[in-house]
Structure 1
């Protein structure tokens, strides 16, 4: 089988095949109509960890990696943990969480609100950062006094990643 992509190949692959034919965040229209024969290539259920595995080569994008079908789940978890370790900042005293703008753009993939997004991150970030994030999550759930700050996204080419 073959999947034909247009000139926007990476975008098509990301928003159509890997995002389970869900609309781009700036649109409400499905990329493929229900009669489109290419739907056979589209995954059936979306996994938000894909956001941390796909790169467009920009500085704020995840690092490039090669994935294998036999260990995809483990690799997606590792890519997510690595990205969150680099891009998520937790400031306990200031009661702030700084996250990639990906969480703002794709908010519906992470629960549609700040509490759910922080909960999602807490389940996927490793080590001490997870503990600190869980403390802030508790404060967010009980008092609502935690700031979620979306970091600037750097689109310039990352020649090191």
Structure 2
């Protein structure tokens, strides 16, 4: 497959900032728009989105118009860890959606060379890519297997946006437009703990496969890439699996299981295409 090469693009650069608004207020309105888009255009069975239909709606155009206001934001407008995590998780999902529709991505985000680095928003005068938001801001600039270098170097102005608390459950709040990603949701700082718990439990219970005969767990590659974020992976799974035979078996054998990580399906999570 030939990948499209683009220059880094700030998707909200042409949208007027308008009157300055606190990021918490702007984030709440973006959250409302995202929820409406999901409600109207997500497949209830898969969570996949109909991107072509979304791009033709007034709701999407209104959402895009709101992103111009991000350019005047300041970190102190997100005073709590809950406000920060919810805002940046929603912004990650918003930027992914915005980019897929605007760049007319057909097969998957791999259509665009270095997609996660090249699509960006201006937030408070800082250019932040999907890579920056996930690894620099939400993961607190931590290295990982798939991002071994810290994305923000010493003295980087964007360090001011790093969330004050890391929560590993945020991995199940981020949707990068791939079929293997958790479904798109919008997060409210007032309900964040419950929403992250619901998202994590939903993903873990749908994803983890246990083979008792082989003493093997098959699970998402997310648990390989970010193993250090979860600490004890079997322990994390036990904390989020529903009561039942699978959880009981893992509790009895957690010290002697093999973890197998399935290949990630990077095809576009497009509801208009049947898998």
In the other structure, the counterpart of 2:139 is 19
Is residue 132 from structure 1 mapped to residue 246 from structure 2 by the alignment?
yes
The structure number with the bigger radius of gyration is 2
For residues 106 and 67 of structure 1, do their structure 2 counterparts lie closer, same or farther at Cα, with a shift above 3 Å needed?
same
Distance 1:120 1:12 in 2: 25
TM-score scaled to structure 1, two decimals? 0.82
SS at match of 1:152: coil
Distance 2:143 2:263 in 1: 23
In the other structure, the counterpart of 2:233 is 117
Is residue 51 from structure 1 mapped to residue 165 from structure 2 by the alignment?
no
In the other structure, the counterpart of 1:150 is 261
Cα RMSD for the two superposed structures: 2.1
Task: Decide whether the 8 Å contact of 2:144 with 2:226 is kept in 1.
Answer: no
Is residue 96 from structure 1 mapped to residue 216 from structure 2 by the alignment?
yes
Task: Decide whether the 8 Å contact of 1:95 with 1:136 is kept in 2.
Answer: no
Distance 2:147 2:176 in 1: 20
Task: Decide whether the 8 Å contact of 2:178 with 2:267 is kept in 1.
Answer: yes
Distance 2:181 2:147 in 1: 22
In the other structure, the counterpart of 1:69 is 189
For residue 205 of structure 2, the aligned residue among 85, 110, 114 is 85
Structure 1 residue 125: Cα displacement: 2.0
Kindly provide the CA deviation profile for residues 100-159 of structure 1, in whole angstroms up to 9, marking residues without a partner as x: 011111111122xxxx2111111012232xx52342343242xx2x33211111001011
Structure 1 residue 60: Cα displacement: 0.3
For residues 100 and 70 of structure 1, do their structure 2 counterparts lie closer, same or farther at Cα, with a shift above 3 Å needed?
same
Number of positions where the alignment pairs a residue of Structure 1 with one of Structure 2: 150
For residues 3 and 77 of structure 1, do their structure 2 counterparts lie closer, same or farther at Cα, with a shift above 3 Å needed?
farther
Q: Runs (4+) of structure 1 moved beyond 4 Å?
A: none
Distance 2:172 2:207 in 1: 11
Task: Decide whether the 8 Å contact of 2:173 with 2:199 is kept in 1.
Answer: yes
TM-score scaled to structure 2, two decimals? 0.50
